[in-house]
Structure 1
Amino acid sequence: MSAHENDETWAPLPFGNALSGHLMVGVIGGGIAFALLAASMWINLTPDVSTGTLFGGVVVGWLIVAVVGTLIERRYSIARHHDDPGSWSKTVWLTVLNIPAGIIAGLIVGVGDASWILAGLAAFFVGYGIDLAFIGNPWKDGMTRGEFRGKWQETKKMTSRVLTDDDDTD
């Protein structure tokens, strides 16, 4: 049961807000994927390509993960009336999403070269797997908007106290 199950005023986050969050957090998984793809080229597992081509493929994969991941999470959010519901099935869907995203990134980078397709698949699976495991934790319930606002207010009060205390020492 979620905290908002009986709250008729609850509405999902606007899609643009949720997507921007996915895009920001997804930069970490995309950065890891980019580094792994570059490493595969540097150790001669894949043919050489330009940095721009490599970057372009990773950006397309990152956008796929962000947009489709936001849509997947939105379905769970609406079903549970929770801003960030945790679920093992959601975790599986978000993990499986990395397969087509990595394959498409590899296709773009290597223009159909099988070694790039496999490298893209592995890089996205590892990069976004690390992102999900250490940052996203999609199997756990995240904070609701109300909980976030409360934590934000606590942070502002604490920061104000710290800054006020620092001013007294000058």
Structure 2
Amino acid sequence: MADHSDASDFVPPAFSFALMGHLATGVVKVVAIALLLWGLGLTGWTANFPAGTAIVTASVVMVAVELATTGVERIFVLRHRHPDPGSVPMTAIVALLPLPISFLIGLLFGPASSGGLSTMIVTTVVYWAALVALERPWVEGDTQADIRRKYEQTKAMTREQFRSE
């Protein structure tokens, strides 16, 4: 990982912006978690999760995990002075966060003691799939200067493409 401690113009994104981004992607995760919990309950593989309980459990799990994830990522953003630092330790922490959080929430909201375990397993599968397929926190993202440069290139290309002749 590159060290960006010399970036004097670095302004970290606001915590609320990062949290809103996490919650926006979390909406997709809520649907997947709720459907899996409810579906597993219908098939008899786990304790019966009524649809309402599955939705509430998935929503609470998502908000709690995304809040914790945003907090952990914020520490790495500030430490590395980069809006998307990409770090193996950060990835490990973010990958392990859903385990205890979803287990405790599953115990609280689940229909039986197996609710904690099934919630933990389903949440972990959904979050790990999203981590690998979409988020990839181990890869360093663009700096603010890179984003500005790409924005200017896009504006110039659009101007060139749509100018009247």
Residue equivalent to 2:34:
34
Does residue 109 (structure 1) correspond to residue 105 (structure 2)? The answer is: no
Contact 2:60 2:105 in 1 (8 A): yes
**What one-letter code is carried by the residue in structure 2 that aligns with 1:69?**
T
Contact 1:2 1:82 in 2 (8 A): no
- Counterparts of 1:131-170 in structure 2, within 5 Å, are 131-158=130-157, 164=162
Does residue 78 (structure 1) correspond to residue 78 (structure 2)? The answer is: yes
CA distance in 2, matches of 1:161, 1:101: 51
Contact 2:98 2:124 in 1 (8 A): yes
**1:87 Cα deviation after fit:** 1.0
Residues 56 and 153 (structure 1 numbering): CA distance in 2 closer, same or farther, change over 3 Å? Answer: farther
TM-score, with structure 1 as normaliser: 0.84
**What one-letter code is carried by the residue in structure 1 that aligns with 2:136?**
N
Residues 52 and 155 (structure 1 numbering): CA distance in 2 closer, same or farther, change over 3 Å? Answer: farther
**1:157 Cα deviation after fit:** 4.8
Identity of aligned residues (%): 28
Residue equivalent to 2:128:
129
Give the secondary structure class of the aligned counterpart of 1:9: coil
**1:38 Cα deviation after fit:** 1.8
Residues 12 and 43 (structure 1 numbering): CA distance in 2 closer, same or farther, change over 3 Å? Answer: same
CA distance in 1, matches of 2:124, 2:92: 12
CA RMSD of aligned residues (A): 2.3
CA distance in 2, matches of 1:24, 1:124: 17
Listed as ranges, the gaps of 5+ residues in structure 1 are: none
Give the secondary structure class of the aligned counterpart of 1:82: coil
**1:146 Cα deviation after fit:** 2.7
Give the secondary structure class of the aligned counterpart of 1:91: helix
Residue equivalent to 1:14:
14
Residues 161 and 26 (structure 1 numbering): CA distance in 2 closer, same or farther, change over 3 Å? Answer: farther
**1:67 Cα deviation after fit:** 0.7
Question: C-alpha offsets along residues 106-164 of structure 1, whole Å, 9 cap, x if unaligned?
Answer: 224315x22211110111110000111111101110122332333344445555666x3
CA distance in 1, matches of 2:3, 2:158: 29
CA distance in 1, matches of 2:150, 2:156: 10
Question: After TM superposition, what 4+ stretches of structure 1 lie above 6 angstroms from structure 2?
Answer: none
Residues 157 and 38 (structure 1 numbering): CA distance in 2 closer, same or farther, change over 3 Å? Answer: farther
Select the structure with the greater relative contact order (CA < 8 A; seq sep ≥ 6). 1
TM-score, with structure 2 as normaliser: 0.86
Question: C-alpha offsets along residues 24-52 of structure 1, whole Å, 9 cap, x if unaligned?
Answer: 12223333222221221121122334322
State how many pairs are aligned. Answer: 165
